[in-house]
Structure 1
Amino acid sequence: MTLIREDDLIQSIHDALQYISYFHPRDFVRAVAAAWEREQSPAAKDALEQILTNSRMSAEGRRPICQDTGVVVVFLKIGMNVRFDSNRSLQEMIDEGVHRAYTDPINPLRASMVDPPIGERRNTGDNTPAIVHTELVPGDRFEIAIAAKGGGSENKARFTTLNPSDDLVEWVVRTLPGMGAGWCPPGVLGIGIGGTPEKALLMAKEALLSPIDIHELQQRGPSNPIEELRLKIHERVNTLGIGAQGLGGLTTVLDVKILSYPTHAASLPVGMIPNCAATRHLEFELDGTGPATFEPPSLDDWPDIHWAPGPEARRVNLDTLTREEIASWQVGDRLLLSGRLLTGRDAAHKRIQQLLESGQGLPEGVDFTNRLIYYVGPVDPVGDEVVGPAGPTTATRMDKFTELMLGQTGLLGMIGKAERGPETIESIRRHKAAYLIAVGGAAYLVSQAVKKARVVAFEDLGMEAIYEFEVQDMPVTVAVDSHGESVHQRGPAEWSMRIAELRHTLHQNR
């Protein structure tokens, strides 16, 4: 019989969450590095370079890879001979580990969980509760797999029930472009096939815990139908040309992982969930002899890549920015922003809307006239930091507020990640504004550009408060220009055609 002490489980959960907050899995780093080496799209290559540089910086500084430090998901396999020395439930012990990890003063992690999920949506303050899945298995082993899944990738989960005769590959290829770039590609696709609807989605989530090994599979060839399916989906998805951050390029997914389960003869349930550029997971065992120990990876595992802005990047003074200058920007231009900007996410936009509609006006100290807003919820700073990791959140969620902000506040433009919807693009064009993107998955790198930060409104919203940032050479790309051109439309369209041409040329030369 294995006896697991309460303190050992709590400490292991704490240590594991801290570890994955700043150390990417080795297989992920190698896969992104390989994608960077073969990438031919300049925009995608630059984004991959920022992701890899950010990954190394986070490993060295032991600070979060991404400002969205994720919802904690735990898979437990508990031997039926395992016993626990505790008066708490498993959920309570794991939540205590999460609480300690996310409130650790040395490396505090962002609390993102809200309760209740509708209505007031108050932040729980420590990222609890975790999502815990438990399976009882024979024996005396206690296996734990833990992940921290960001909201951008979780929001892109998809489910369908196909007819048994339908083409699953075609469904994936048809569905994935509609997921947009909010999941911060490139990443891994987890797919669950069979069972029931909830089983398919659970398998899709669990499949993401497997190591990236598609290149080994390509070299040796498939040995069963599931491996054959992985190769087909991987190849077809990467021909879409979506690329890193949705900018257009050769690599959209690094791997495709699939789990399956028997299902009803009339059904083919399929769940699909992506992992993002902040892939975070760890697997370990407890044997009753103490907490788990995690060996830090060697920095030699990271490629010798250090991102720096190219000579083509244009410097922009935010404090003197005008619509005339914005009109000179073209989609795809790379900019370095310096000066003051305001921040705001979903909750702040909702309050602004309520204040404006009630006639109260904006809070004192909040003036968007001739300014940009950055969609961000930063991690709390430590030591001499001005702000913790502060990468962009998915801008699409703010589409419903864009006309209000551009039409009534004097706002010149927005900074976020991922695409904007057609009505928002039209609003940007009509108001001669612009939408810029920072690289999702480069939060620690981006935060180095923030030289001053202060809360100016809605402090009770925590990470969703409105901050004023003073930035120096913050790297962004023009994603929607004042004419309504969108890089997320143009880039993938261009690169899907280029990939088709490359494949045709390769076929002819064989």
Structure 2
Amino acid sequence: MSARITEADLIGSIADALQYISYYHPPDFIAAMASAYEREQSPSAKAAIAQILINSRMCATGHRPICQDTGIANVFVEVGVEARTDWTRPLQDMIDDAVRQAWMLETNPLRASVVVDPLDNRRNSGDNTPAMVQVQMVAGKDVHVTVSAKGGGSENKTQFAVLNPSASVTDWVVDRVGQMGAGWCPPGMLGIGVGGSVDKAMAMAKASLNEPIDITDLRARGPANRVEEMRLEILDRVNALGIGAQGLGGITTALDVKIATFPTHAASMPVALIPNCAATRHIDFTLAGDGPTTFAAPDLSLWPQIEGQGPIGRRLSLDDLTASTLASLSPGETLLLSGKLYTGRDAAHKRMVETLRAGDALPVDLKGRALYYVGPVDAIPGEVIGPAGPTTATRMDKFTEELLAATGLKVMIGKAERGAEAIEAIRRHGAVYMVAVGGAAYLVSQAIKAARVVAYDDLGMEAIREFTVEDMPVTVAVDTHGNSIHETGPRQWAQKWARA
């Protein structure tokens, strides 16, 4: 009789897996990104991919998170119907213990991003619980577990529709990706679920993102069925959109496309599309009753050696942001920022705007200053701040006009595009929007030389901080005239694809 699969083995293995994926990209993802880097022709996109790869190697050696958004824990459990366990508690409770253990590890604390009440005060759980758990009973005596960490930027771009059975899934996916913008931090994966019910399609799309990247092998051997034909067609058409890395314009937007199908109602065709970002993080393991799983570190030779790893770009002082200096900046230009800046995300923006509407003074003076949209990971001994990459800027769009008009703020830094209303406010007030690379959080944090909370400390990672930075790498995205690289870049590279 086989040994029992214990609760301790399950919890310990999941906790170790969550820590492991916080700082190790899957090897197939590194290989795909390295290939994308070699092929990329757009200078802006190539530089972004380079930062992602450099950041990834730094995290692999330093055991610190790839992205400041250490994500929601997604755990997929396949329990063999003949498995012998000593479990007496619900899987959700055991998995939540594992998440709590992983997120609060002192040597590599992860950022707690889960809020308990989505409709009311959105209080942070403090330990990133609960996990999102999917369970399936399968044949066999083992328990197979897949863990992934899914960031909010890519999750927020999820698309769903119930199409007419005669509609083209390929056309719908390409159209949706074209409208998703860059908030999901491409290049990454596209997971597609077709059929089943509404919830089944979503579950299939999410699970498909954990499959190995094999599109190059598929292209080499040729498609064997309609699903494989669709994978290749969608990949080629999505990349031909010219969106590119971080939406800056380029030839690689998606690294692979996964499609899962299931029988469905004759009158329906549910389709779910879930992207995974440049911080793709997942691993799987099997418990057979012989103890917890151990995870071997990947070979560092998997990461490419990228030339010119030092800071590249025009240096700009954040302590002297004159109108003429700002007017001289052009979309697509790379900069190295030095000086003081403030941080602030959704919760801080909401509180600042409420304060201004009440006629009160803000706790910080933003006149002529820069504001970085970031919620960093807590620091460990020896660090000024933990990984501190940008969050999606469009969430701040509705606050932009009031904040620029009332404070004299001149520079905003985030990731992805801005909406039309925000771009008009930027133009009207002679401000500039810049982007840091999503998925390069640890690399960005190395440019932060001092950090302190200066307001709203009750907001935790969303508190306003003052950073002193030195050679922080960014790209100009929207200039003082309202010109956006997220509009001109993809358009330019889509035209190049069309001429190819």
Q: Does 1:157 align with 2:158?
A: yes
- Residues 195-234 of structure 1: pairs in structure 2 closer than 5 A: 195-234=196-235
Cα distance between partner residues in 1 of 2:84 and 2:69: 35
1:391 corresponds to which residue? 389
- Tell me the SS of whatever aligns to 1:114: coil
C-alpha separation between the residues in 1 aligned to 2:95 and 2:398?
A: 37
**Which one-letter code corresponds to 1:138 in the other structure?**
A
For 2:126 and 2:440, the matched residues in 1 are separated by 24
Asked if residue 308 in structure 1 is aligned to residue 315 in structure 2, the reply is no
1:290-439 pair list within 5 angstroms: 290-305=291-306, 308=309, 313-363=313-363, 366-439=364-437
What SS does the corresponding residue of 1:4 show, helix, strand or coil? coil
Distance 2:360 2:85 in 1: 56
Is 288-297 or 302-311 further displaced after alignment?
302-311
Cα gap change, 1:310/1:352 in structure 2, threshold over 3 Å: closer, same or farther? closer
Q: 1:261 aligned to 2:259?
A: no
Q: Which residue of 2 aligns with 1:508?
A: none
Counterpart residue number, 1:146: 147
Q: Which moved more, 1:133-142 or 1:256-265?
A: 133-142
State the Cα distance separating 1:348 from its structure 2 match: 0.6
CA–CA distance in structure 1, aligned partners of residues 65 and 120 of structure 2: 30
In 2, the alpha carbon distance for the partners of 1:222 and 1:127 equals 41
SS at match of 1:397: helix
Q: Distance between the aligned counterparts of 2:266 and 2:4, measured in 1?
A: 43
Worse-superposed segment, 344-353 or 75-84: 75-84
- Structure 1 length-normalised TM: 0.97
CA 1:306–1:87 in 2, change beyond 3 Å: closer, same or farther?
farther
Q: CA deviation at 1:88?
A: 2.2
Work out whether residues 2 and 82 of structure 1, in 8 Å CA contact, stay in contact via their aligned partners in 2: no
Q: Describe the SS at the equivalent of 1:21.
A: helix
Q: Which amino acid aligns with 1:479?
A: A
1:49 and 1:306 in contact (8 A); partners too:
no
1:333, 1:301 → 2: CA distance? 31
Q: Greater CA deviation, 53-62 or 135-144?
A: 135-144
For residue 191 of structure 1, give the secondary structure of its aligned residue in structure 2: strand
Q: Using the alignment, how far apart are the partners of 1:301 and 1:173 within structure 2? A: 31
Q: 2:486 aligns with which of 458, 468, 488?
A: 488
Mapped partners of 2:226, 2:496: distance in 1: 30
Partner of 2:168: 167
Q: Partner residue of 2:70?
A: 69
Q: CA-to-partner distance for each residue in 1:200-252, whole Å, 9 max, x for gaps? A: 11100000000000000000000111111101101111110000000000000
Is contact 1:387-1:450 (8 Å) kept? yes
Can you list the C-alpha shifts for 1:157-214, whole angstroms capped at 9, x where unaligned? 0001111111111111111121110110000100000001111111000000000000
Letter in 1 for 2:444: V
Contact 1:2 1:140 in 2 (8 A): no
Judge conservation of contact 2:311–2:473 (CA < 8 Å) in 1.
no
Query: What is aligned with 1:505?
Result: none
One-letter code of the match for 2:188?
Answer: G
Aligned counterparts of 2:309 and 2:355: Cα–Cα separation in 1: 41
Provide TM-score, normalisation by structure 2: 0.98
**How far off its partner does 1:4 sit?**
1.7
Is contact 1:49–1:307 with CA below 8 Å preserved after alignment?
no
Q: Is the 8 A contact 1:50 1:307 kept in 2?
A: no
SS of structure 1 residue aligned to 2:5: strand
Find the counterpart in structure 2 of residue 125 from structure 1.
126
1:435-469 Cα deviation digits (max 9, x unpaired): 00000010000000000000001111111110000
Greater shift, 87-96 or 478-487, is seen at 87-96
In 1, Cα distance between equivalents of 2:10 and 2:353: 45
User: For 1:232 and 1:2, how far apart are their aligned partners in 2?
Assistant: 48
Q: Deviations for 1:461-484, whole angstroms, at most 9, x for unmatched residues? A: 111110000000000010000000
| Secondary structure of the corresponding residue to residue 16 of structure 1 | helix
- Summarize deviations over 1:46-74 as a string: whole Å, max 9, x none: 00000000000000101000000000011
- Between the aligned partners of 2:84 and 2:484, the Cα distance in structure 1 is 57
Distance 2:292 2:170 in 1: 43
Aligned residues: 499
For structure 2, which runs of at least 5 residues remain unmatched after alignment?
A: none
Between the aligned partners of 1:376 and 1:435, the Cα distance in structure 2 is 14
Q: Is the 8 A contact 1:67 1:443 kept in 2?
A: yes
Alpha-carbon distance change, 233 to 2 in structure 1, aligned in 2, over 3 angstroms: farther
Residues 125 and 330 of structure 1: CA distance in aligned 2, closer, same or farther (over 3 Å): same
Answer yes or no: is 1:45 the counterpart of 2:46: yes
Uncovered stretches (5+) of structure 1, i.e. residues with no partner = 503-510
CA RMSD of superposed structures (Å): 1.0
CA contact (8 A) 2:144 2:287 kept: yes
**1:76 partner SS:** strand
Query: Equivalent residue of 1:497, what SS?
Result: helix
Post-superposition offset of 1:2: 5.7
Q: Which residue of structure 2 aligns with residue 476 of structure 1?
A: 474
Match of residue 59 from structure 1: 60
1:29 aligns with 2:27: no
Distance in 2 of aligned mates of 1:98 and 1:467: 27
> 1:308: how far off?
3.1
**Structure 2 counterpart SS, 1:319:** coil
Instruction: Supply the AA of the counterpart residue of 1:181.
Output: A
| Letter in structure 2 aligned against 1:435 | Y
CA separation of 1:157/1:246 partners in 2, compared to 1, >3 Å: closer, same or farther? same
What secondary structure, in the 3-state scheme, does the structure 1 residue paired with 2:18 have?
helix
Q: Could you tell me how far apart the structure 1 residues matched to 2:89 and 2:170 are?
A: 45
Question: Following the alignment from structure 1 to structure 2, what is the Cα–Cα distance between the partners of residues 392 and 422?
Answer: 20
Q: For residues 247-285 of structure 1, what are the alpha-carbon distances to aligned partners after superposition, in whole Å with 9 as ceiling and x for unaligned?
A: 000000000001100011111110000110000000101
Secondary structure at the aligned position of 2:146 is classed as: strand
Q: In the superposition, relative to structure 1, how do residues 231 and 155 fare at CA in structure 2: closer, same or farther (>3 Å)?
A: same
SS at match of 1:67: coil
**Structure-1 separation of matches of 2:340 and 2:370:** 8
Q: Which moved more, 1:477-486 or 1:346-355?
A: 346-355
Answer yes or no: is the 8 Å Cα contact 1:53–1:307 preserved in 2. no
Q: Quote the offset at 1:19 in angstroms.
A: 0.3
Q: Distance in 2 between matches of 1:443 and 1:225?
A: 39
Map of 1:447 onto structure 2: 445
Cα separation, 2, equivalents of 1:138 and 1:173: 37
| Distance 1:306-1:397 versus aligned 2 partners, 3 A rule | farther
Partner SS state of residue 166, structure 1: coil
> Helix, strand or coil: the match of 1:54?
helix
2:72 counterpart letter in structure 1: V
